[in-house]
Amino acid sequence: MRLVVLLVVLAGLCLTGLPAKAERSGTAASPLRVLLIPADGGTEDGTKADFVPLFNAITRTSGIHFDVQTGQSYAAVIEGMCAGQAEIAWLGPVSYVEAHRRGCADLLAIEERDGSSTYYAGIFVSQASGIDTPDELSGKSIALGSQHSASSFSYPLAMLSKAGIDPLRDLGAIRITGSHANSLLALQNGLVDAAGASFISFERAVNQGGLNASEFRLLIKSDPIPNPPIAMHPGLPESVKELLKSSLGNVHRTPGIRPESIRGYGGKQVDRYNTDATDALFEAMAGTIGFIDTDYQTAVLRKSGS
């Protein structure tokens, strides 16, 4: 029931029309096109480097070939799938549900590490800000990522609401930066008082030398969020779907495939890709972010000046 509510909420984001069919067959001459969301700042090389080893491994075990690219935005990846410009996509959980609702994407797999398929987001403030409680964000500004992102947009808004802060009424300003990394940089540069981002993106930005962790402080931690899933176009032949599931689900234990090749969100090595997961995994999101309907999202974007 909760998933139904979420789908209704996201229906307002949808465009009309049916998705184009998948065009590629997966041969070397007609590789399946893979689009990746730019989850960590839109750097094509970084995100692409995380996933190319995984898809190369699948090619070795299945014979299916891939052309892996990073999209310019979450919205561009959704539109790419729905326009028939990609057969495979790595999406955020909210953007996956949106694409699934539009009939453009079915769940292929979700990454697991330490037996978990979830991650966390946070609202960060600067260490020297003097902001110690959510109440002290009243009248302050916050940076959020893409409106299609669960952990840099929807969950930060939900965290504020749960803490008694109405983002539309109580915050002084909302800035939409387009990515986790951009939001964290805005906070580091003193352009905002707080930033919403995933823990994984924060850790990656620190490890890459773009952020000094000692300058940040976690103010609020989210509930568990489903990991960004890998989705496949519903129009693919059933034989290709089955081969993709079999290969991706077993690639972690295939002789000759190095474990460090099996990576996911933030470039982290994962234990495996679970191809038995169902859309029920995303059900809990409805209870947390279901209040962010079309009108609410429009109001947030209007407040941000987007």
Say whether 132 sits in a helix, a strand or coil: coil
The phi and psi torsions of 163 (rounded to 5 degrees) equal -85, 0
Identify each DSSP E strand in the chain by its residue range. Answer: 32-36, 66-70, 88-90, 106-112, 118-119, 121-126, 141-144, 173-176, 194-198, 216-221, 225-226, 229-232, 272-274
pLDDT, tens digit, 9 for 90 and up, residues 217-260: 999 999 999 999 999 999 999 999 999 999 999 999 999 999 99
One-letter amino acid at 88 equals: I
Average of per-residue pLDDT across 14-21:
55
Check if the beta carbon of residue 157 is closer than 8 Å to that of residue 300. yes
Number of H helices, E strands in the chain: 11, 13
The residue ranking higher by pLDDT, 170 or 44, is 170
Length of the chain measured in residues: 306
For residue 216, CA distances in Å to 131, 178, 269 come to 11, 20, 25
Average of per-residue pLDDT across 151-155:
95
Domains of the chain: 32-117+227-275 (3.40.190.10), 119-225+292-304 (3.40.190.10)
Write down the pLDDT at residue 40. Answer: 65
Prediction pTM value: 0.83
pLDDT band at 287 (very low <50, low <70, confident <90, very high): confident
Write down the pLDDT at residue 6. Answer: 43
Write down the pLDDT at residue 275. Answer: 96
Say whether 210 sits in a helix, a strand or coil: coil
Identify each DSSP E strand in 39-113 by its residue range. Answer: 66-70, 88-90, 106-112
Check if the beta carbon of residue 213 is closer than 8 Å to that of residue 127. no
d(CA 141, CA 14): 29
pLDDT, tens digit, 9 for 90 and up, residues 169-204: 999 999 999 889 899 999 999 999 999 999 999 998
Write down the pLDDT at residue 15. Answer: 41
Mean pLDDT computed over every residue of the chain: 89
For residue 2, CA distances in Å to 156, 284, 289 come to 20, 7, 11
pLDDT, tens digit, 9 for 90 and up, residues 203-214: 988 988 778 999
